[in-house]
Amino acid sequence: MDERIEHRPVRSRGLVLHLVLILANSAISGYLLFLALTSQVRGVFILYLLASIITFLPAPFLFYQLYALTRAKYILSRNGIGIQWGLRTEDIPISDIEWIRLPRDFVNKVAPPPLRLPGAVLATVRDRDLGIIEYIAAEPEELVLIATPAKIFALSPGSPQAFINDFHRSAELGSFTPIQKQSSQPQLIISRLAGDKTARSFLAASLGISLLMLIAVSFIIPNLSTVPLGLEAAADRQQASPAERLILLPLLSLLVFFLDLAYGAYLYRKQGFRNAAYIVFFSSLILPISFSVLIIFILLL
């Protein structure tokens, strides 16, 4: 029987930092969007809206890093080592592991990662003595180095010495069938989606309609002064809004598209959830089509 032993990285600092950054990012972006929606000056509305969008851009990255950290774990077995970090998975057969050591075992200091954000120490560096080192860790300290023919993995289990002890105990039992070498990364999932005709059709249609809507709105806005969107401040109770606010429809459509893409890609990679992923991709068409019909009605009024 192949006993599996899980080790998780220390996540407290990373979770707190990412939550604080997400809350700060959301608060600033949301406040700028509020200022845009309540602004009565056409040019100022666009400036606030652009500032809100630019401020929001780091949010998806932070959310993904938070999600990846909550799922992060290193799995030891007599047949190899498995690494899971968000959508990234790495399976290292026991036959590929040349040695496993702590950084303090080396005379020269191991090359550090260029970015040391707690909870997301993810980088590939070249060490003068050891060669290529890929960091898949939560903290830059207390690392475990695992050497393979291709490169060295730097991991950060909660207790490095316990991780090494468990590895040696598992290795001493011997391996019946080494696990298959495998590497799955988010960019590979996007490539698989691009090669799937059904998924590609839904996503291309959704993105295309949203972009066409954005282009159309950019031509419509200069020819209208107000539109009946009802987005004025609550105190005003007016029926018409400045025409610039039409831009919110394609932008919201694009935001939902990327959310559907992320959730659909998550389902797509899970065995048995392919049809559920197709449903999510298909649902990404609903909002852009609905908004397009709404814009047509607005123009006909």
> pTM of the prediction?
0.74
Beta-carbon contacts of 272 under 8 Å, excluding residues fewer than 6 positions away, are none
What mean pLDDT, rounded, does the chain reach?
A: 84
CB 213 within 8 A of CB 289: no
CB 180 within 8 A of CB 93: yes
In the sheet with 121-127, reading across from the earlier edge strand, the strands are 99-101, 144-147, 152-155, 131-137, 121-127
| pLDDT, position 263 | 86
CB 22 within 8 A of CB 14: no
Structure tokens at 132: 């290529």
pLDDT tens-place string over residues 235-246: 444 556 677 777
How far from 279 is each of 36, 250, 272, CA to CA, in Å? 34, 22, 13
pLDDT tens-place string over residues 104-131: 988 889 988 887 888 889 888 999 889 9
The average pLDDT across 241-261 equals: 82
Which residue is associated with the tokens 């970015």? Answer: 115
pLDDT tens-place string over residues 283-299: 999 999 998 888 888 77
DSSP letters of 151-203? -EEEE-BSSHHHHHHHHHHHHHT--SSPPPPEEE-HHHHHHHHHT-HHHHHHH
Say which residue, 194 or 71, is predicted with more confidence.
71
Say which residue, 1 or 41, is predicted with more confidence.
41
CB 249 within 8 A of CB 221: no
| pLDDT, position 235 | 44
The answer, yes or no, to whether residue 272 has pLDDT greater than 90, is no
Amino acid, single-letter form, for residue 225: S
| pLDDT, position 193 | 80
